[in-house]
Amino acid sequence: MPISLQARNVLISGGSRGLGAVVARKFAAEGSNVAINYVSSKDAAEKLASDLQSQYKVKAIIVQGDAGLQSDCRNIVKSTIEQLGGLDIVISNAGWTKMTAFNDLDAMSDEDWDKCWSTNVKSNLYLFKEALPTFNVNPDGGSFIITSSTAVGE
Protein backbone atom coordinates (compact mmCIF):
# COMPACT_ATOMS: atom_id res chain seq x y z
CA MET A 1 0.00 0.00 0.00
CA PRO A 2 1.49 3.36 -0.95
CA ILE A 3 2.19 5.83 1.83
CA SER A 4 0.30 9.09 1.60
CA LEU A 5 2.46 12.18 1.20
CA GLN A 6 -0.28 14.41 2.61
CA ALA A 7 1.04 16.49 5.54
CA ARG A 8 4.51 14.91 5.37
CA ASN A 9 7.47 17.19 6.06
CA VAL A 10 10.09 17.19 3.33
CA LEU A 11 13.54 18.81 3.26
CA ILE A 12 15.09 19.37 -0.17
CA SER A 13 18.75 20.41 -0.21
CA GLY A 14 19.58 22.48 -3.27
CA GLY A 15 15.85 23.01 -3.57
CA SER A 16 15.55 26.54 -4.93
CA ARG A 17 16.31 25.87 -8.61
CA GLY A 18 16.53 23.12 -11.21
CA LEU A 19 15.67 19.57 -10.20
CA GLY A 20 15.28 20.58 -6.53
CA ALA A 21 12.55 23.08 -7.40
CA VAL A 22 10.74 20.50 -9.55
CA VAL A 23 10.87 18.01 -6.68
CA ALA A 24 9.54 20.65 -4.25
CA ARG A 25 6.60 21.31 -6.58
CA LYS A 26 5.80 17.59 -6.87
CA PHE A 27 5.79 17.06 -3.11
CA ALA A 28 3.69 20.19 -2.52
CA ALA A 29 1.19 19.01 -5.15
CA GLU A 30 0.79 15.83 -3.06
CA GLY A 31 0.10 17.92 0.06
CA SER A 32 3.54 17.77 1.66
CA ASN A 33 5.07 20.66 3.57
CA VAL A 34 8.47 21.54 2.15
CA ALA A 35 11.69 23.08 3.40
CA ILE A 36 13.65 24.55 0.52
CA ASN A 37 17.37 24.70 1.22
CA TYR A 38 19.53 27.13 -0.73
CA VAL A 39 23.07 28.48 -0.53
CA SER A 40 22.87 31.75 -2.43
CA SER A 41 19.62 31.76 -4.44
CA LYS A 42 17.49 33.40 -1.75
CA ASP A 43 15.19 35.20 -4.21
CA ALA A 44 14.47 31.99 -6.12
CA ALA A 45 13.84 30.10 -2.85
CA GLU A 46 11.47 32.80 -1.55
CA LYS A 47 9.52 32.91 -4.81
CA LEU A 48 9.21 29.12 -4.94
CA ALA A 49 8.05 28.94 -1.31
CA SER A 50 5.48 31.67 -1.94
CA ASP A 51 4.22 29.95 -5.09
CA LEU A 52 3.88 26.59 -3.31
CA GLN A 53 1.99 28.09 -0.38
CA SER A 54 -0.49 29.94 -2.56
CA GLN A 55 -0.98 27.20 -5.16
CA TYR A 56 -1.06 24.11 -2.94
CA LYS A 57 -1.97 25.53 0.50
CA VAL A 58 0.98 23.79 2.17
CA LYS A 59 3.61 25.15 4.49
CA ALA A 60 6.77 26.05 2.58
CA ILE A 61 9.84 27.47 4.28
CA ILE A 62 13.31 28.41 3.14
CA VAL A 63 16.49 27.40 4.94
CA GLN A 64 19.85 28.91 4.02
CA GLY A 65 22.94 26.74 4.34
CA ASP A 66 25.80 25.12 2.47
CA ALA A 67 25.18 21.36 2.29
CA GLY A 68 28.93 20.83 1.94
CA LEU A 69 29.47 22.01 5.53
CA GLN A 70 28.59 19.71 8.40
CA SER A 71 27.62 22.57 10.71
CA ASP A 72 25.26 23.99 8.08
CA CYS A 73 23.67 20.56 7.55
CA ARG A 74 23.07 20.33 11.29
CA ASN A 75 21.35 23.73 11.20
CA ILE A 76 19.38 22.95 8.01
CA VAL A 77 17.86 19.81 9.54
CA LYS A 78 17.30 21.40 12.96
CA SER A 79 15.61 24.46 11.45
CA THR A 80 13.40 22.28 9.24
CA ILE A 81 12.25 20.20 12.20
CA GLU A 82 11.57 23.29 14.30
CA GLN A 83 9.68 25.18 11.59
CA LEU A 84 7.71 22.27 10.09
CA GLY A 85 7.17 20.35 13.32
CA GLY A 86 9.05 17.25 12.21
CA LEU A 87 10.80 15.59 9.30
CA ASP A 88 9.70 12.60 7.25
CA ILE A 89 11.66 12.80 4.01
CA VAL A 90 15.02 14.23 2.96
CA ILE A 91 15.85 14.74 -0.69
CA SER A 92 19.62 15.20 -0.76
CA ASN A 93 19.88 17.14 -4.00
CA ALA A 94 22.61 19.74 -3.48
CA GLY A 95 25.50 19.50 -5.88
CA TRP A 96 28.49 21.43 -7.14
CA THR A 97 30.82 21.10 -10.08
CA LYS A 98 33.27 23.15 -12.05
CA MET A 99 33.19 22.47 -15.76
CA THR A 100 36.69 21.95 -17.11
CA ALA A 101 38.41 20.26 -20.02
CA PHE A 102 38.54 16.55 -19.23
CA ASN A 103 42.22 16.26 -20.04
CA ASP A 104 43.31 19.29 -17.99
CA LEU A 105 44.34 17.91 -14.61
CA ASP A 106 45.31 21.37 -13.40
CA ALA A 107 41.96 22.99 -14.17
CA MET A 108 40.67 22.47 -10.63
CA SER A 109 42.47 23.55 -7.48
CA ASP A 110 42.60 21.49 -4.30
CA GLU A 111 39.91 23.79 -2.92
CA ASP A 112 37.68 23.04 -5.94
CA TRP A 113 38.11 19.28 -5.43
CA ASP A 114 37.38 19.61 -1.71
CA LYS A 115 34.22 21.64 -2.36
CA CYS A 116 33.05 19.15 -4.97
CA TRP A 117 33.65 16.17 -2.66
CA SER A 118 32.04 17.83 0.35
CA THR A 119 28.94 19.00 -1.52
CA ASN A 120 28.38 15.95 -3.71
CA VAL A 121 29.39 13.18 -1.32
CA LYS A 122 29.82 14.20 2.30
CA SER A 123 26.61 16.23 2.39
CA ASN A 124 24.64 12.98 2.12
CA LEU A 125 26.29 11.65 5.26
CA TYR A 126 25.92 14.96 7.11
CA LEU A 127 22.21 15.30 6.34
CA PHE A 128 21.43 11.64 7.04
CA LYS A 129 23.22 11.66 10.40
CA GLU A 130 21.20 14.72 11.46
CA ALA A 131 17.87 13.33 10.23
CA LEU A 132 18.28 9.78 11.55
CA PRO A 133 17.28 10.40 15.19
CA THR A 134 14.02 11.98 14.00
CA PHE A 135 13.40 9.18 11.49
CA ASN A 136 13.96 6.64 14.27
CA VAL A 137 11.15 8.09 16.40
CA ASN A 138 8.69 8.68 13.54
CA PRO A 139 5.88 6.10 13.52
CA ASP A 140 6.55 5.49 9.80
CA GLY A 141 10.32 5.96 9.95
CA GLY A 142 11.71 8.22 7.26
CA SER A 143 12.99 8.30 3.72
CA PHE A 144 16.35 9.60 2.53
CA ILE A 145 16.67 9.98 -1.23
CA ILE A 146 19.89 10.99 -2.98
CA THR A 147 19.97 12.57 -6.42
CA SER A 148 23.00 12.98 -8.60
CA SER A 149 23.94 14.14 -12.03
CA THR A 150 26.66 13.63 -14.52
CA ALA A 151 28.74 16.33 -16.11
CA VAL A 152 30.22 15.24 -19.42
CA GLY A 153 32.35 16.92 -22.01
CA GLU A 154 32.96 16.29 -25.64
Is the pLDDT assigned to residue 154 strictly greater than 70?
Answer: no
Domains of the chain: 9-146 (3.40.50.720)
- Model confidence at 131, pLDDT cuts 50, 70, 90, reads very high
Question: In whole angstroms, how far apart are CA 77 and each of 29, 92, 127, 139, 150?
Answer: 22, 11, 7, 19, 26
Decide: 60 and 53 in contact? Cβ < 8 Å.
yes
Crossing angle of helices 18-29 and 42-56, in 10° steps, is 20
Q: Which of 88, 106, 100, 96 is nearest to 35 (CA)?
A: 88
pLDDT tens for 88-124 read: 999 999 999 888 898 999 999 999 999 999 999 999 9
Is the pLDDT assigned to residue 1 strictly greater than 80?
Answer: no
Segments in 39-98 forming alpha helices (H) = 42-56, 70-84
Note the pLDDT of residue 148: 78
Q: Is the dihedral of CA 77, 78, 81, 82 positive or negative?
A: negative
pLDDT tens for 2-46 read: 789 999 999 999 999 999 999 999 999 999 999 999 999 999 999
- Write phi, then psi, for 33 (nearest 5 degrees): -80, 140
Q: Which of 150, 151, 147, 121 is nearest to 20 (CA)?
A: 147
Mean pLDDT to the nearest integer, 122-151: 93
Q: What's the pTM?
A: 0.93
